Structure formats: structure tokens, C-alpha cells
Amino acid sequence: MTASLWLLLVNSLTDKHAIGQPTFELMQKLAKQPKASVEKFLAKQR
């Protein structure tokens, strides 16, 4: 189940946010972001 959720998140980052290959470091930073600032954080990662 965890792997399925991980792959969904990676696909979302790739498709919706144009982040080619999200690194594990990026995923760790993303997990620490408050929900309200996720979009802004991802915009900076492009």
C-alpha cells in the first residue's frame, strides 16, 4: 500500500507540477510543508 501511495505522489508531481524525477530529498522536504504552502513550494522546484 505504501508503494502505491508513493507512486501516486510521484506521478502527481510529474504530471501536474512538471517535476521530472522527484528526488527522495524533495519528497522529504515536501512532507514537512504545511498544506497551505505546498503549491508555492512546488512552484519553486520547477
Residue 31 carries which side chain, given as an amino acid letter? Answer: A
Residue span of the structural domain in which 16 resides: 2-45
* Burial annotation 6-41 (CB, 10 A radius, 16+ → b, else e): eeeeeeebeeeeebeebeeeeeeebeeeeeeeeeee
Share of the chain residues as helix, strand and coil, in percent rounded to the nearest 5: 75, 0, 25
How many independent structural domains does the chain possess? 1
pLDDT of residue 46: 82
pLDDT in tens, 1-46: 899 999 999 999 999 999 989 999 999 999 999 999 999 999 998 8
C-alpha cell at 25: 530529498
Query: Percent of the chain having pLDDT more than 90?
Result: 89
pLDDT of residue 19: 92
